[in-house]
Amino acid sequence: MDDIYKEIILEHYQNPNHRGKIEAERNVGNANKRSSNVSLRSKVYVAGEVNMTCGDSLKIFAKIINDKIVDAKFEGGGCAISMAAVDMLLDKVIGMKLSDVKKMSGAEIEKMMGVELTPSRKKCAYLGLEVLKKIV
């Protein structure tokens, strides 16, 4: 693995951008206003999974408005690969349409991470995508 990719993975593992929780909101916009604009409803979805092979655990919170992920956070613990991969994944999917997220593959995770992973490490790296696909 190239040193630059090791550094990127460690940075996302040690200082994740998306660690935390999203609390549910009832409404976004002005529901009392009479106009042709419909009040936007936001929903926060939560899904989780545990990698039984190594014990990595992950819960993802995704705030969705109009079939788009507008915010996402995660909680959990595990190896540097799994935690960095989910943080990098959430960087990518915020702002994406759900239909585009559904099409994502593990190969995209490896590309984001800049490494080719062994089969056992793929399970770690793909955990975030598996959990996110439960939501979308």
Measure the CA–CA gap between 112 and 115, rounded to whole angstroms. Answer: 8
Would you kindly state where each structural domain of the chain is located, as residue ranges? 3-135
pLDDT per position as a tens digit, 52-79: 888 999 999 999 999 999 999 999 999 9
Strands 57-65 and 68-77: antiparallel
Give SS3 for 6.
Answer: helix
pTM of structure: 0.84
What pLDDT does residue 5 have?
Answer: 65
Name the band, by pLDDT with cuts 50, 70 and 90, for residue 34: very low
Closest CA to 49 of 57, 41, 38, 61: 57
Higher-confidence position of 25 and 106: 106
The CATH code of domain 3-135 reads 3.90.1010.10
Name the band, by pLDDT with cuts 50, 70 and 90, for residue 31: very low
